[in-house]
Chain A
Amino acid sequence: EPEVTQTPSHQVTQMGQEVILRCVPISNHLYFYWYRQILGQKVEFLVSFYNNEISEKSEIFDDQFSVERPDGSNFTLKIRSTKLEDSAMYFCASSGINQPQHFGDGTRLSIL
């Protein structure tokens, strides 16, 4: 069964550094999402992306965040200058038309 894949599984970064989280969505999906989950808390929406542009973003997704689909298969989330509170699990999801969102297994981001 096709699945969303994310790399790396764990990323450790110094505060203030840039980090790029990578995702390969399911191949025939057109809608892409990033969510995050701080330890012990709910899964929170960050951003959705369709047709090479952001469809919606939450209040969490400030100017430090950006997304990109650099080629036909990858979808990336960049955090420009990481903060301690950015430590969380980051999940990528994708969906097709009238289909539920399918999630990857996440990247654990640890900011030191």
Chain B
Amino acid sequence: GESVGLHLPTLSVQEGDNSIINCAYSNSASDYFIWYKQESGKGPQFIIDIRSNMDKRQGQRVTVLLNKTVKHLSLQIAATQPGDSAVYFCAELPDRGSTLGRLYFGRGTQLTVWP
């Protein structure tokens, strides 16, 4: 079955540094990946997504890298700010040719930004 997991449960960085959050997935047929941010008491908030036909996608201060060879996904946050402190989840969608359907979530990485 599908399995999405994270290498590190916690990550602490200094304000202004870059953060890298990693995610491994096991289903080589997975077609679509999303990174979500979850702040305390709130629901998962969409950050960025990527399809399997891409290996990199950039947003505002965030970059997602996809390495299909080793089934690895990463989220890079540039110039990390205190407001970036949250739990970050990667989520995976098996190959369906669309962005619709059941998402499989990883366990999450707690990012803490200290001044």
Contact = CB atoms under 8 A, between A and B. Distances in A.
Interface in A49-77: 50, 55-56, 58
A105 B43 contact: yes
B102 A48 contact: yes
A43 to B, nearest CB: 4
B102 A106 contact: no
Most buried by B among A42, A95, A100, A103: A100
Interface string B33-44: 010100001111
Contacts of B100: 31, 48, 50, 95, 97
User: Main SS of the interface on chain B?
Assistant: loop
Interface residues of B, number: 22
B105 A44 contact: yes
Interface residues of A, number: 26
B34 A100 contact: yes
Given A42-B108, A45-B103, A98 B98 contact: yes
B110 to A, nearest CB: 11
A58 to B, nearest CB: 7
Given A42-B107, A42-B108, A58 B102 contact: yes
B46 A100 contact: yes
A74 B71 CA distance: 38
A48 B101 contact: yes
A103 B45 contact: yes
A43 B38 CA distance: 11
Contact of B102 (A45, A97, A98): A45
Given A48-B102, A99-B99, A43 B41 contact: no
A56 to B, nearest CB: 6
9 contacts: A43-B105, A45-B102, A48-B102, A56-B102, A97-B100, A101-B46, A102-B46, A103-B45, A105-B43
Which 10 A-B residue pairs are closest in the complex by CB-CB distance?
A103-B43, A43-B105, A45-B102, A105-B43, A103-B44, A42-B105, A105-B42, A106-B43, A100-B49, A91-B43
